Amino acid sequence: RGPVSSLLEMLFSSERPLLIGFAFQNDLRELGRSPWAEISRHPKGLCDLQQLVGRPQDGLSKLAECTLGAPLCKAEQRSYWHRRPLRAAQRHYAALDAFVLLQVASKL
């Protein structure tokens, strides 16, 4: 057991939401193919904003535009995330994506 396993167990075992995500099933699918597949099989403590707003056809960019007044640039979304180290543009995208999730959640 390593630090990633311990962190995922703590995050995915909470009865109260500890994680905010958007279309979290995509992340869970990727985790299901990882060394942490068993830990992520039945997660608790998730707040999926896509499910919360009930508009599965809309992406995070559209939700950001509706709640914050500006869309989120998703240019890096489809880039190759398995290559390490991540490029600076990918790290920026990931940080902005997480920040926007918090901003949108605070408005809902």
pLDDT at position 17 is 85
Mean pLDDT of 7-30: 91
15 has pLDDT over 90: no
* Rounded Cα–Cα distance for residues 99 and 4 (Å): 22
Q: What dihedral angle (degrees, nearest 10) is formed by the CA atoms of 21, 23, 25, 29?
A: -90
Which pLDDT tens digit goes with each residue over 26-51?
899 999 999 999 999 999 989 999 99
Which pLDDT tens digit goes with each residue over 55-105?
888 999 999 999 999 999 989 999 999 899 999 999 999 999 999 999 999
Q: Which residues contact 73 (CB under 8 A, 6 or more apart)?
A: 61, 93, 96
Q: What is the pTM of this model?
A: 0.82
Q: Phi and psi at residue 48, in whole multiples of 5°? A: -95, 110
